[in-house]
Protein backbone atom coordinates (compact mmCIF):
# COMPACT_ATOMS: atom_id res chain seq x y z
CA UNK A 1 0.00 0.00 0.00
CA UNK A 2 1.37 3.44 -0.93
CA UNK A 3 2.16 5.90 1.86
CA UNK A 4 2.15 8.89 -0.48
CA UNK A 5 1.03 12.01 1.37
CA UNK A 6 -1.20 14.07 -0.90
CA UNK A 7 -1.90 17.17 1.16
CA UNK A 8 -2.58 20.35 -0.78
CA UNK A 9 -0.38 23.43 -0.51
CA UNK A 10 -2.22 26.24 1.24
CA UNK A 11 -1.56 29.99 1.24
CA UNK A 12 -0.86 31.42 4.68
CA UNK A 13 -2.93 34.47 5.57
CA UNK A 14 -1.22 37.38 7.33
CA UNK A 15 -4.28 37.87 9.53
CA UNK A 16 -4.05 34.28 10.73
CA UNK A 17 -0.35 34.62 11.53
CA UNK A 18 -0.96 37.75 13.59
CA UNK A 19 -3.95 36.20 15.38
CA UNK A 20 -1.78 33.27 16.48
CA UNK A 21 0.99 35.63 17.59
CA UNK A 22 -1.56 37.52 19.67
CA UNK A 23 -2.70 34.24 21.26
CA UNK A 24 0.88 33.52 22.30
CA UNK A 25 1.16 36.99 23.78
CA UNK A 26 -2.15 36.64 25.63
CA UNK A 27 -1.73 33.09 26.92
CA UNK A 28 2.00 33.28 27.75
CA UNK A 29 2.62 29.54 27.25
CA UNK A 30 5.59 27.95 28.96
CA UNK A 31 7.95 26.11 26.62
CA UNK A 32 10.35 23.67 28.22
CA UNK A 33 13.45 23.68 26.04
CA UNK A 34 16.16 21.04 26.22
CA UNK A 35 18.45 22.75 23.80
CA UNK A 36 21.98 23.50 22.70
CA UNK A 37 24.04 24.97 25.55
CA UNK A 38 25.24 27.68 23.15
CA UNK A 39 21.63 28.56 22.31
CA UNK A 40 20.00 28.67 25.73
CA UNK A 41 20.34 32.39 26.38
CA UNK A 42 19.13 33.49 22.95
CA UNK A 43 16.35 30.89 22.94
CA UNK A 44 15.04 32.03 26.32
CA UNK A 45 15.07 35.66 25.23
CA UNK A 46 13.30 34.89 21.94
CA UNK A 47 10.53 33.10 23.84
CA UNK A 48 10.20 36.00 26.27
CA UNK A 49 10.11 38.48 23.37
CA UNK A 50 7.04 36.82 21.80
CA UNK A 51 5.31 36.61 25.17
CA UNK A 52 6.08 32.99 26.06
CA UNK A 53 7.88 31.69 29.15
CA UNK A 54 11.01 29.53 28.96
CA UNK A 55 12.14 26.77 31.29
CA UNK A 56 15.30 24.80 30.60
CA UNK A 57 16.32 22.28 33.23
CA UNK A 58 18.03 19.17 31.86
CA UNK A 59 18.38 17.32 35.17
CA UNK A 60 16.97 13.80 34.55
CA UNK A 61 15.53 13.63 38.08
CA UNK A 62 13.28 16.68 37.60
CA UNK A 63 12.79 17.07 33.86
CA UNK A 64 9.60 14.96 33.76
CA UNK A 65 7.78 17.37 36.04
CA UNK A 66 8.95 20.39 34.08
CA UNK A 67 7.97 18.84 30.74
CA UNK A 68 4.57 17.60 31.88
CA UNK A 69 3.71 20.96 33.40
CA UNK A 70 4.83 23.01 30.39
CA UNK A 71 2.58 23.92 27.48
CA UNK A 72 5.06 22.56 24.91
CA UNK A 73 8.37 20.71 24.83
CA UNK A 74 11.29 21.51 22.55
CA UNK A 75 14.08 18.98 22.03
CA UNK A 76 17.16 20.33 20.27
CA UNK A 77 20.12 17.98 19.77
CA UNK A 78 22.73 20.68 19.25
CA UNK A 79 24.52 19.69 22.46
CA UNK A 80 24.03 15.97 23.03
CA UNK A 81 25.92 15.28 26.25
CA UNK A 82 25.17 12.37 28.56
CA UNK A 83 22.86 14.37 30.84
CA UNK A 84 20.71 15.51 27.92
CA UNK A 85 20.79 12.03 26.40
CA UNK A 86 19.24 10.65 29.60
CA UNK A 87 16.79 13.50 30.11
CA UNK A 88 15.35 13.77 26.60
CA UNK A 89 13.31 10.52 26.39
CA UNK A 90 12.07 11.06 29.94
CA UNK A 91 10.88 14.56 29.02
CA UNK A 92 9.22 13.41 25.79
CA UNK A 93 7.32 10.59 27.47
CA UNK A 94 6.14 12.93 30.25
CA UNK A 95 5.03 15.61 27.81
CA UNK A 96 3.20 13.11 25.60
CA UNK A 97 1.45 11.58 28.61
CA UNK A 98 0.28 15.07 29.62
CA UNK A 99 -0.97 15.82 26.10
CA UNK A 100 1.63 18.51 25.40
CA UNK A 101 3.03 19.04 21.88
CA UNK A 102 6.60 17.87 21.36
CA UNK A 103 8.92 19.46 18.81
CA UNK A 104 12.19 17.79 17.77
CA UNK A 105 15.08 19.66 16.15
CA UNK A 106 17.69 17.00 15.19
CA UNK A 107 20.60 19.41 14.78
CA UNK A 108 23.74 18.14 13.02
CA UNK A 109 22.58 14.53 12.61
CA UNK A 110 24.42 14.53 9.29
CA UNK A 111 27.72 14.97 11.15
CA UNK A 112 27.46 12.05 13.56
CA UNK A 113 26.13 8.52 12.97
CA UNK A 114 25.66 8.12 16.73
CA UNK A 115 23.55 11.26 16.92
CA UNK A 116 21.59 10.22 13.85
CA UNK A 117 20.77 6.83 15.38
CA UNK A 118 19.68 8.52 18.61
CA UNK A 119 17.42 10.89 16.64
CA UNK A 120 15.82 7.95 14.83
CA UNK A 121 15.04 6.40 18.22
CA UNK A 122 13.37 9.65 19.27
CA UNK A 123 11.21 9.56 16.14
CA UNK A 124 9.79 6.33 17.54
CA UNK A 125 8.36 8.39 20.41
CA UNK A 126 6.21 10.21 17.82
CA UNK A 127 7.02 13.90 18.20
CA UNK A 128 4.29 16.20 16.93
CA UNK A 129 6.70 18.35 14.97
CA UNK A 130 10.14 17.77 13.45
CA UNK A 131 12.10 20.80 12.26
CA UNK A 132 15.30 20.30 10.27
CA UNK A 133 17.22 21.45 7.21
CA UNK A 134 17.69 19.53 3.97
CA UNK A 135 21.08 18.05 4.95
CA UNK A 136 19.64 16.78 8.23
CA UNK A 137 16.63 15.34 6.43
CA UNK A 138 18.85 13.47 3.98
CA UNK A 139 20.83 11.95 6.85
CA UNK A 140 17.86 11.06 9.01
CA UNK A 141 15.61 9.49 6.37
CA UNK A 142 16.92 6.92 3.87
CA UNK A 143 14.35 7.81 1.23
CA UNK A 144 11.15 9.70 0.53
CA UNK A 145 9.06 6.75 1.66
CA UNK A 146 10.46 7.12 5.19
CA UNK A 147 9.51 10.80 5.18
CA UNK A 148 6.01 10.00 3.99
CA UNK A 149 5.65 7.31 6.66
CA UNK A 150 6.55 9.82 9.35
CA UNK A 151 4.01 12.33 8.04
CA UNK A 152 1.32 9.69 7.58
CA UNK A 153 1.86 8.71 11.22
CA UNK A 154 0.84 12.22 12.30
CA UNK A 155 4.10 14.13 12.61
CA UNK A 156 4.36 17.53 10.95
CA UNK A 157 7.64 18.02 9.09
CA UNK A 158 9.21 21.46 8.69
CA UNK A 159 12.20 21.66 6.34
CA UNK A 160 14.06 24.96 6.34
CA UNK A 161 16.06 26.29 3.41
CA UNK A 162 15.86 28.92 0.69
CA UNK A 163 12.18 28.00 0.64
CA UNK A 164 10.78 26.60 3.89
CA UNK A 165 8.36 23.68 3.62
CA UNK A 166 5.79 22.56 6.15
CA UNK A 167 4.32 19.14 5.33
CA UNK A 168 1.47 17.27 7.00
CA UNK A 169 -1.35 14.89 6.14
CA UNK A 170 -3.88 17.71 5.81
CA UNK A 171 -2.05 20.73 4.41
CA UNK A 172 1.34 21.92 3.23
CA UNK A 173 2.82 25.40 3.32
CA UNK A 174 5.63 27.00 1.31
CA UNK A 175 7.29 30.04 2.90
CA UNK A 176 10.05 32.37 1.73
CA UNK A 177 10.79 34.83 4.53
CA UNK A 178 14.13 35.33 6.27
CA UNK A 179 17.44 37.11 5.67
CA UNK A 180 21.00 35.82 4.99
CA UNK A 181 22.36 37.78 7.97
CA UNK A 182 20.48 35.42 10.29
CA UNK A 183 22.93 32.66 9.34
CA UNK A 184 25.81 34.81 10.66
CA UNK A 185 24.57 34.55 14.26
CA UNK A 186 24.77 31.31 16.21
CA UNK A 187 21.54 29.79 17.53
CA UNK A 188 19.06 31.65 15.33
CA UNK A 189 17.72 28.30 14.11
CA UNK A 190 17.53 26.97 17.66
CA UNK A 191 15.64 30.03 18.86
CA UNK A 192 13.34 29.81 15.86
CA UNK A 193 12.52 26.22 16.76
CA UNK A 194 11.45 27.35 20.22
CA UNK A 195 9.10 29.91 18.67
CA UNK A 196 7.51 27.11 16.62
CA UNK A 197 6.98 25.11 19.81
CA UNK A 198 5.29 28.10 21.45
CA UNK A 199 2.90 28.44 18.52
CA UNK A 200 2.15 24.70 18.62
CA UNK A 201 1.07 25.10 22.23
CA UNK A 202 -1.78 27.48 21.34
CA UNK A 203 -2.94 25.99 18.02
CA UNK A 204 -4.09 22.39 17.57
CA UNK A 205 -3.41 22.49 13.82
CA UNK A 206 0.33 21.83 14.17
CA UNK A 207 1.13 22.51 10.53
CA UNK A 208 -0.55 25.91 10.70
CA UNK A 209 1.20 26.64 13.99
CA UNK A 210 4.59 25.73 12.50
CA UNK A 211 4.01 27.86 9.40
CA UNK A 212 2.90 30.85 11.47
CA UNK A 213 5.71 30.54 14.00
CA UNK A 214 8.33 30.17 11.29
CA UNK A 215 6.93 33.20 9.46
CA UNK A 216 6.94 35.36 12.58
CA UNK A 217 10.55 34.50 13.39
CA UNK A 218 11.80 34.98 9.83
CA UNK A 219 9.89 38.23 9.36
CA UNK A 220 11.48 39.43 12.59
CA UNK A 221 14.84 38.51 11.05
CA UNK A 222 14.08 40.63 8.00
CA UNK A 223 13.01 43.55 10.15
CA UNK A 224 16.14 43.21 12.27
CA UNK A 225 18.45 42.99 9.27
CA UNK A 226 17.04 46.24 7.89
CA UNK A 227 18.20 48.03 11.07
CA UNK A 228 21.33 46.08 12.02
CA UNK A 229 24.88 47.08 11.09
CA UNK A 230 26.01 43.43 11.18
CA UNK A 231 25.69 40.21 13.20
CA UNK A 232 26.49 41.95 16.50
CA UNK A 233 23.51 44.25 16.28
CA UNK A 234 21.18 41.74 14.64
CA UNK A 235 20.34 39.89 17.86
CA UNK A 236 18.96 42.84 19.85
CA UNK A 237 17.13 44.10 16.77
CA UNK A 238 15.61 40.64 16.23
CA UNK A 239 14.39 40.42 19.82
CA UNK A 240 12.87 43.89 19.54
CA UNK A 241 11.18 42.92 16.27
CA UNK A 242 9.61 39.85 17.88
CA UNK A 243 8.39 42.01 20.75
CA UNK A 244 6.96 44.87 18.68
CA UNK A 245 5.71 43.03 15.57
CA UNK A 246 2.36 44.31 14.33
CA UNK A 247 -0.25 42.98 11.93
CA UNK A 248 1.01 45.49 9.38
CA UNK A 249 4.58 44.17 9.64
CA UNK A 250 3.30 40.70 8.78
CA UNK A 251 0.96 41.90 6.04
CA UNK A 252 3.63 43.76 4.08
CA UNK A 253 6.36 41.12 4.46
CA UNK A 254 4.73 37.67 4.49
CA UNK A 255 5.81 35.52 1.55
CA UNK A 256 3.70 32.38 1.26
CA UNK A 257 3.12 30.24 -1.84
pLDDT tens per residue across span 168-193: 998 999 999 999 999 999 999 999 99
pLDDT at 212 exceeding the cut of 90: yes
- What pLDDT, on the 0 to 100 scale, is given for residue 8? 85
Strands 30-34 and 72-76: parallel
Q: Taking Cα atoms as reference points, which of 197, 203, 206 lies closest to residue 73?
A: 197
Three-state SS at 173: strand
pLDDT of residue 10: 87
Could you read off the pLDDT of 65-104 as tens digits, one per residue?
Answer: 999 999 999 999 999 999 999 999 999 999 999 999 999 9
How far apart, in whole angstroms, are the C-alpha atoms of residue 154 and residue 257? 23
What is this structure's pTM?
A: 0.95
Sheet of strand 30-34: strand arrangement: 8-9, 171-175, 164-167, 156-160, 129-133, 102-105, 72-76, 30-34, 53-55
- Nearest 5°: phi and psi at 160? -95, 150
- Please say if the pLDDT value at position 6 is more than 60: no
Q: Three-state SS string across 31-55, please?
A: EEEECCCCCHHHHHHHHHHHCCEEE
Rg of the chain (C-alpha set): 17
3-state DSSP call for residue 159? strand
Residues 24-47: pLDDT tens digits?
Answer: 999 999 999 999 999 999 999 999
The vertex-163 CA angle with 229 and 28, nearest 5°, equals 70
pLDDT of 110-147, one tens digit each? 999 999 999 999 999 999 999 999 999 999 999 999 99
DSSP letter at 204 equals S
Query: d(Cα 72, Cα 30) in Å, to the nearest integer?
Result: 7
Position 7 scores a pLDDT of: 72
pLDDT score recorded for residue 3:
47
Neighbours of 22 (CB within 10 A): 13
Please report, rounded to a whole number, the percentage of residues in the chain having pLDDT higher than 70.
98
Amino acid sequence: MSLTVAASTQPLAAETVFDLLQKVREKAPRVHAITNSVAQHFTANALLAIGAIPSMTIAPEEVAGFAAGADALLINLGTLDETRRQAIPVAIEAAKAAGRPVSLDPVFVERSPVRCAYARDLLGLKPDLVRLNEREQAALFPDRAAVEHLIADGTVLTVTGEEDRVESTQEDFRLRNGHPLMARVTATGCAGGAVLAAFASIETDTALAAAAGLSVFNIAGEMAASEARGPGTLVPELLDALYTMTSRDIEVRLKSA
